[in-house]
A and B are shown apart, each in its own frame.
Chain A
Amino acid sequence: MPPRDEGDPVTFDLFLLQLFTGLALGSIYVLVALGLSLIFGMLTVVNFAHGQFFMVGAYLGVFFLGLTGNFWFSLLAVPIAAGVIGMVCERFLVRPLYGRGIDYPLLLTYGLGLVLLESVRMIAGTQGVPFNTPPLLSGAVDLGVFFFPKYRLFLIVITALLLIGLWLFLEKTTYGLIIRAGARDPEIVNILGVDVSRVWLVVFGIGISLAATAGLLAAPIRGVFPEMGVPVLVEAFVVTVVGGMGSLVGAVIAGLLVGVTVSFTAFFFPQMSTLSMFVLMALVLIFRPRGLFGRAGALG
């Protein structure tokens, strides 16, 4: 670490700022991990194509933006389009593999990810396309000591809304009850006369829809290019593993924790900032192998 001179003192303001930046970054990690966590928690499918659906979401956003010129329309259209794609994938690719062990869908989705990546490269080119922040949300807000981008504040709000929506859906609606029951004991649910396969279809669709929405929302920050999903799969896995596979609460706490960890590492040991999330994951795995909020033996 380079020595600090008087131009760079560690003040309380700076500390708070670093914390806030970390929490904001964490909310992006939460957003990114949400779809992965949901699909795993409910279907025990480890979706290795998560990062590529994230990328597809961003490209769908570019497509809809090109059609209408309206970011908000894209924000509405992308989750729907991606949900449909997700359901098609579930119906024809993932469904035949249920009950065959966790590695089958894992390999399938890994391959699917490669296909998606190459398809996008062929259709949209390898160079990437510009994606500007919607005009309403561009620019920074003065938070007193620091300027903070409006768009990142918007992301925090959107992530919170998505989480609340998802929680209400799973906990407070009849359909949510069926999903939770189906996750716990599909056989009984089937005997009770509910078509479990339809429930899984919907859950997979929602998970893909969340991945794609995250991609669209991240596009103004990270840009749109075919490989944009690659680090996302890693980030989403770290968050999911730290939080506990399949736990939504876990995903939230872990996402924020990873954000703050990365932020403070970036402050003191910038070279280690990316590494820090893996160190955190290793520590959690050593002391609590199931993750902070995970069920024991989820992968068994």
Chain B
Amino acid sequence: MATYHYDKHRRRLTRRDLVKGGFAVTAIAAVGPYYLRYAHAQTGPIKIGLPVPLTGPYSSEAQNQARCAQLAIDMFNQAGGLKGRMAELLVRDDKLNPGEAATRSQELIESDKVNFLCGSLSASVQLAVNNVAKNRGVIYNSISQSDTINEASDFSKYTFHEALNPHMTSGAVGRYVFPKFGKRVAFLTADYAYGHEMVNGFKRVGKQFGLEDVLEIKHPIGQADYSTFFPRIQAAKPDILIASNFGRDQLNTFKQATEFGLKQQMKIICPVLLYTQRLAGGGTSFEGVIGGANYYWELEKTAPTAKRLNDAYRAKHGGEVPSDYAAYGFSGIYSMLEAVKKVGTTDTDAVIAAMETLKYDAYKGTQYFRKCDHQSVQSVLVIESKPDSQAKSKADICSIVATETGSEDRLRSCKELGHG
């Protein structure tokens, strides 16, 4: 039963009442716009909003994403735009926080009147942006890994997923490593959606190979020291340690696992081997680690579009090459703008229809969005970190050991995801 904390004799408001009232006003303000649909400008610049975590543990990935997104915009504009209509990128800091991301996306839609949204770098943040976008009928192309976003409950016709999803990534990595390095697997997992989804993916693909799950440790995100988990991992004697964490957490895990001699006893695997963390962590810490990737710059040897992206990036950023997650920034914007060019308008429904049938080659070969869940069907690379002694240049840090071609067979079926 509700109790009211005001003084009956004096009828004076208490702080509690004010807080309650404040919540009510905020709630109305937040829900109100849901009933509105925004008419997007069909003239003037094509605006694309990019909420990414410019501050926080994934800041270096996020800044690179913004750089690459800008390259896609520049490329579109240099080619004349959409009959002279130029594209414009609006980067916002989501601080890796779902609430912050929702607010920024809302502002991008309502105040800045963006035509499309792209971005985010965490599963939960991405779902927050998606929620805002789908309620306001704005196309959102997500560039961070998530399985949930494919599922019918979170999906809407406005939702596109340019990034790989954990199911595809862990599947490709699992199919490569389980036959090679053994069946006894220990999991060290960051305790949030990304980690959990990766582990589910590995277990699922592991069934075919008789995976034996000997230990599962979940750790909080942003942990600085992993040494306290190592005694149990060593005592469990696994063939493989799968570390499903991201950003600095990945770097510190490998750095400390190397220190503790874990590599002498087991093979270390990660779902996504991050280029930026490998650069910051150095060759010794990452030596021999195998993981998945959407992109590695050496693809330029075989894919002309990879060379196009690398060259554009090199020209603008002092000869450096784009990282894997940075490349998502490029392809996320590129695929939307390709669709815009194809239909010759920024009308939301027309662009959705175009994206659903588009075949595009942004940076690594042909990709397309599957009709039912708008997941981008694309190749997955399996890469292995090189020791410093074999590096021919500063960027030469990995070798591509396997490539899994994009195929709908590698995705969960539309039926399993709850579509139709």
Q: Which residues of A contact B (CB under 8 A)?
A: 2, 5, 7-9, 11, 14, 17-18, 21-22, 24-25, 28, 125-133, 138-140, 146-149, 151-152, 220-225, 227, 231-232, 235, 262-263, 266-267, 270-275
Contacts and interface: CB of A to CB of B under 8 A. Distances in A.
A126 B227 CA distance: 26
Contact of B252 (A18, A126, A146, A222): A222
Contact of B261 (A130, A139, A227, A275): A139
Contact of B228 (A7, A130, A151, A273): A273
Contacts of B260: 140, 147-149
Interface string B196-233: 00000000000000000011111110111101111110
A275 B235 CA distance: 25
B222 A7 contact: no
Given A8-B215, A126-B59, A139-B261, A223 B281 contact: yes
A10 B171 CA distance: 33
B-side interface size class: 35 or more
Nearest to B226: A266
A262 B281 CA distance: 25
B365 interface: no
A211 B59 CA distance: 24
Nearest to A121: B59
Nearest to A22: B228
B228 A18 contact: yes
A125 B56 CA distance: 14
B182 interface: no
Contacts of A266: 219, 228-229
A223 B248 contact: yes
Contact of B234 (A128, A146, A227, A273): A146
B7 to A, nearest CB: 32
Contacts of B223: 273-274
Given A146-B231, A271-B191, A130 B281 contact: yes
B229 A270 contact: yes
Nearest to B283: A130
Contacts of B252: 221-223
B36 interface: no
A148 B63 CA distance: 37
Contact of B255 (A28, A147, A223, A274): A223
A223 B284 CA distance: 12
B284 A132 contact: yes
Q: 4 shortest A-B CB distances, which residue pairs?
A: A130-B282, A128-B280, A266-B228, A140-B261
Nearest to B278: A130
Given A149-B260, A266-B229, A270-B217, A231 B224 contact: yes
Contacts of B230: 21
A127 B231 contact: no
Contact of B259 (A129, A130, A133): A133
Contacts of B245: none
Contact of A129 (B220, B225, B280): B280
Contacts of A139: 261
Contacts of B282: 130-132
Contacts of A17: 231
Given A149-B261, A223-B280, 13 more contacts: A7-B236, A7-B237, A8-B235, A25-B227, A130-B282, A132-B282, A149-B260, A223-B251, A223-B281, A225-B60, A267-B232, A273-B220, A274-B222
Given A274-B220, A275-B220, A267 B228 contact: yes
